[in-house]
Amino acid sequence: MAWLADMLDFLGRSPGLGYLADDGPAAEPTAWAAMALLAHGRTDKAIEKLCLLNDWQSPADGSVPVRPTEKEPCWTTSLAVMAWQSGLRWRANAGGGCELSDVDEERLRGAVDRGLLWLVQTRGETVTSGDPQMAGHDGTLVGWPWALGTHAWVEPTALAVLALKASGNTQHPRTRQAVRLLVDRLLPSGGCNYGNTAVLGQKLVPHVQPSGLALLALAGEEDISGKIGRTKSCLLGELPVTKSPQSLAFGLMGLAAHGARPPQTEERLAAAASRALGKSAPMAIALLALNSAPASGVLFPVHPSEEARS
C-alpha cells in the first residue's frame, strides 16, 4: 500500500512534529505519531520521538508541556506516558528485535515514573456549591483539566485514565474516581459532550471524539448505569455520517475496546487518513486506529508476535 508508506514517511520525517507541516514541534502530534509508527513497524523513527518527548519532560515535576518552548499547559503528559509505555511494551514483545537500547529503556521507564507522579498529583478544580442542574454533573468528582486551576473535563480525564491503566494502575484511587467522573459525564441517552451534560437547563448533544475517548477509557468497566452501553449504541449510529478523521478514529477505537467493529472500518480509516494528510495528529491517530489493539482501556500498537498468538 503505497499511500500507507507515504503517510508513515511523513510522520517519520523528523523526530518532533508540529500540528501542521510547517509548524513548530508539539507533544501531542509527536506522541500520536510515535504510537502510529510503532503500530506499523517503524520502530526506529518511533524511538526517536519517544526519546525526544523525554527531552521535553520537566526535570522538576515530570510534566510534558504542549510545546517544548512553553511551560504549560501539560495535559499532554498523559499522551507522553502512553507513548513511552507503548515503546516499552513493544520491546518486551519483540525480544531482541527492537531498536530500543537498554539505556533508552531505562531512560523511558524513569520518564514514565516521573510522568505518573505528575499525573496523580494533578487534579481539576471541584465545585461544591450551586445548583447541580445548572452544570448537569457531579462537580465534586476529581479528574484532570486542560490547564491547571480549572475544572476537569472529559478528554483530558480520559487520556489520564488511559495513561494510568497502561502503566498498571487500573485500581489506583485516582483512576477509580476518574472512571466514576467519566460515567457521570455521559449523557443519559449515551455519548458525551466536552464535560457538561447540560448548560442553563439545556441538554447538550453528544460528539463523536469525546464519546470515543471516554468509551476507550471505560473499557473493562462495569456498566451499572447502562450509560456505557448506550454510548456504544450512540457511536454506532453516529459513525456512518462522521467525516472528521480524528473523530472517526477515536470513535472506532472506542467501539473496538468494547468488542464492536463497524463494517468497512479499514476502508474508512484509510480514506480518513488521506483527508488528514499534512495534519500530523489526525493522520497519526487514524493510522494508529488502523492497526492497534485497544483492550481493557489500554491502547497499544499490535506487535507481530501478539498477532501470531491470537
Q: Residue 310 — pLDDT band, cuts 50, 70, 90?
A: very low
pLDDT at 134: 55
This prediction has a pTM of 0.93
Residue 278 region by backbone torsions, left for phi larger than 0, else alpha for psi between -120 and 50, else beta: left
Pick from 114, 122, 101, 143: nearest CA to 56: 114
β-strand partners of 293: 300
Q: Residue 171 — pLDDT band, cuts 50, 70, 90?
A: very high
- Using CA atoms, how far apart are residues 166 and 146, in angstroms rounded to an integer? 20
Q: Judge whether residue 305 has pLDDT over 70.
A: no
- Give 84-109 pLDDT, tens digit per residue: 999 998 887 765 455 778 888 999 99
Q: Judge whether residue 301 has pLDDT over 80.
A: no
Domains and their CATH numbers in the chain? 2-301 (1.50.10.20)
φ, ψ for residue 137 (rounded to 5)? Answer: -150, 170
- Using CA atoms, how far apart are residues 289 and 276, in angstroms rounded to an integer? 14
- Give 244-270 pLDDT, tens digit per residue: 999 999 999 999 999 898 888 888 888
Q: Judge whether residue 283 has pLDDT over 90.
A: yes
- Using CA atoms, how far apart are residues 245 and 271, in angstroms rounded to an integer? 8
| Region 14-38 average pLDDT | 93
Q: Kindly report the average pLDDT of the chain as a whole number.
A: 89
Alpha helices in 40-76 (DSSP H): 43-56
CA-CA distances (angstroms) from residue 97 to 90, 138, 304? 10, 48, 11
- Using CA atoms, how far apart are residues 287 and 285, in angstroms rounded to an integer? 5
- Give 44-76 pLDDT, tens digit per residue: 999 999 999 999 999 999 999 999 999 999 999
| Region 137-159 average pLDDT | 96
φ, ψ for residue 19 (rounded to 5)? Answer: -70, -30
Cell of 101: 537500547
